[in-house]
Amino acid sequence: MKFKALLSALVFLFILQVNAQQKQKPKPQQKQTAIDQIKTDKGALLVQPITHGSVVLKWNGKTIYVDPYGGAEMYKGVSKPDLILVTDIHGDHMDPKTLDAIETKGIKMVVPQAVADQLPEKYKAQTVVIGNGESTTQQDIKIEGIPMYNLPETEDSRHPKGRGNGYILTMGGKKIYLSGDTEDIQEMRELQNIDVAFVSMNLPYTMDINQAASAVLDFKPKIVYPYHYRGTEGLADVASFKKMVNEKNKNIDVRLREWYPQQQKK
């Protein structure tokens, strides 16, 4: 009987110890999106994918949010913005709920007129409106608005020409192109000296991977990130996009990053 009691006590102590170790074991941290570094004349440009068409750029001590969307959780651990860019009026680009949830007090927002017209009144004083072909300089960054639109141009187009902006940012001698929601328009194909390009490819809203690859092969950015590639049929095949580009031009650095980590793990 004494032996059984001793054995039971030892087993009980062992269970207590295991439970204590499990409680002390740190919970696995959520995987952080990889941050790329690209050299410029004024230090590194940091590129952090957030989700879909939203990306955070950091350069020269400044943080730029592009199309902040998805709620404050998406930006947890990311430094607050010094500048915000919005490309279009659709909710995956202009997201007042996310703007309300992140630190935006006094932060300039570069937007097209259509976005300025629809932003809540409290943000009006912060907006800097530019259209296609216009530019502004904010935080020592030249920002050019360029066309983004669907083909063919029709009255019922999801993205009519002139409503939204793609952007070209000049930072430390590098030119960064943000396509916004567009197809393989001539204005994209004629771009020159682009160092980093973010190119959308999701049907039926923008273009397919064949159009995107064809355009990229025309304007030859040094680095290209496929982004904004979730469509009605799921995620675009960006690996095939990369293959199509590099089969014809191995010098273009096609960077595939996790813009939809949860969907890509399914």
Question: Model's pTM, two decimal places?
Answer: 0.86
Q: What is the pLDDT of residue 29?
A: 33
Domains of the chain: residue spans and CATH: 33-264 (3.60.15.10)
Q: What is the pLDDT of residue 84?
A: 98
How do strand 230-231 and strand 234-235 relate by DSSP bridges? antiparallel
Q: What is the pLDDT of residue 153?
A: 86
Encode the chain (266 residues) as per-residue pLDDT tens digits: 554 554 455 444 444 443 443 333 333 333 446 799 999 999 999 999 999 999 999 999 999 999 999 999 999 999 999 999 999 999 999 999 999 999 999 999 999 999 999 999 999 999 999 999 999 999 999 999 999 999 988 877 899 999 999 999 999 999 999 999 999 999 999 999 999 999 999 999 999 999 999 999 999 999 999 999 999 989 999 999 999 999 999 999 999 999 997 654 43
